Amino acid sequence: MGGRLNAWVPYTSLQERLAGDAPLESISLRVVDGYALAQAQKDVELQLEMFHGRRDFFTQTNDQMTQTIQQASDSMQLLITAIAGISLLVGGVGVMNIMLVSVTERTHEIGIRLSVGARPLDIMRQFLIEAMVICTLGGMVGIAGAMLAGVMFSWFTDEFTMLFTWPPIALACGFSALIGLGFGFFPARNAARLHPTEALARE
């Protein structure tokens, strides 16, 4: 009890028992301890090439499979990062345009605030906060959409489960606020540079 039983059978008999008429498409080998993996791979390739008469196969070790998976994962991560970067750039430009329109439409209001004692820094701070709030709310809506998509995805399959943790969510909200700060700076600076007399003259 507890011992291992090794059985050696001809290749043709094994194929007939396991696969029937269908050819074996792959085999898995395990290298014994103390034997160099690279040398074992070369020996296997040599034997298969001699058996087939040509090189119509390929071999891959666990390390090579892990490296291939890692490369695919890195490529996917790079693609997702590029898509996210483009999305953030487009969204930031959109927020900047909205804030520029807001400054134009509220020029008279800005002039009134400046004439009653508001400092240019106060005006700039106001529009920066508005831009940050808009971007943060947009980020929260995106996070909520991702959570909803994850829940809906889990309804269709049990093999994958999307996990959401608070640190990445907080990081996403903070980054959204930074996007608002960066792209809202130009409109806020334009609003702060308005002269009270010129601003009040506009309707």
- pLDDT tens track for 85-132: 898 889 899 999 999 999 999 999 999 999 998 999 999 999 999 999
| d(C-alpha 169, C-alpha 201), whole Å | 45
Q: State pTM to two decimals.
A: 0.66
What is residue 186's DSSP assignment?
H
Closest of 122, 139, 121, 127 to residue 177, by C-alpha = 139
Residue 71 has pLDDT above 70, yes or no: yes
Residue pair 187/129 in contact by the 8 Å Cβ criterion:
no
Average pLDDT, the chain: 85
Mean pLDDT of 11-39: 76
Question: In the structure encoding, which two tokens stand for residue 188, read together?
Answer: 């806020």
| d(C-alpha 27, C-alpha 29), whole Å | 7
Q: Comparing 110 with 53, which gets the higher pLDDT?
A: 110
